[in-house]
Amino acid sequence: MQSFKRYLPRDIFDDSGIDLLMNLTNDEISPIFEDCLLWIGDPNWPIAKRMIEVIVKHYPLLDGYLPRYLSYDYHDPLLKAQIIKVLYMVPVIYLQKHIALLKRMMETPSPDEREEFFDDHNDFILDDYKKYYIKSLHKDNSLCLSQYIENRELVHSK
């Protein structure tokens, strides 16, 4: 079996392997998917935005990592925020099996989550996501949350 580790970034500026990672199948990237996921951990890293593209392309592989990285006991709110950013870009129907994780974050947030995901008025910043998710199950399940956000921003800017 061929190792694709050489396509991973060597530092936060190295995006030389991103196109190659994008072209891998889910089976090929699976052994290094967690490494890819960890490269999105800081939104200030130049590589993070490009690596998010890789994660979104291979989003079904998130199944094995969401329970750990979105758990109450995982204490990296930046990575959690980045993972949630990814979840805004995947088909809504995919999220159906992970709604319990997001619901737990809304209803019983850890101290880190409360600080990162609640605004000054104690409103959960994903409430719009939750409302949209519930509505979307009765409509077009192929719509992405990112499309919803774009549409919502267009409506609010009029």
Structural domain count, the chain: 2
Domain boundary residue among 48, 64, 80? 64
- Spell out the SS3 assignment of the chain: CCCCHHHCCCCCCCCCCHHHHHCCCHHHHHHHHHHHHHCCCCCCCHHHHHHHHHHHHCHHHHHHCHHHHCCCCCCCHHHHHHHHHHHCCCEHHHHHHHHHHHHHHHHCCCHHHHHHHECCCCCECCHHHHHHHHHHCCCCCCCEHHHHHHHHHHHHHC
| Shared-domain flag, residues 99 and 152 | yes
The pTM of this model reads 0.74
- pLDDT, tens only, 101-117: 877 877 788 888 877 77
Residue 77 lies in a domain: no
Where in the sequence is the domain holding 153, given as residue range(s)? 91-158
Residue 39 lies in a domain: yes
Q: Which of 72-81, 101-110, 118-127, 143-152 has the highest mean pLDDT?
A: 72-81
- pLDDT, tens only, 55-73: 999 999 999 999 999 999 9
| CATH number of the structural domain spanning residue 49 | 1.25.40.750
| Shared-domain flag, residues 106 and 148 | yes
Report pLDDT for 124: 58
| Shared-domain flag, residues 98 and 56 | no
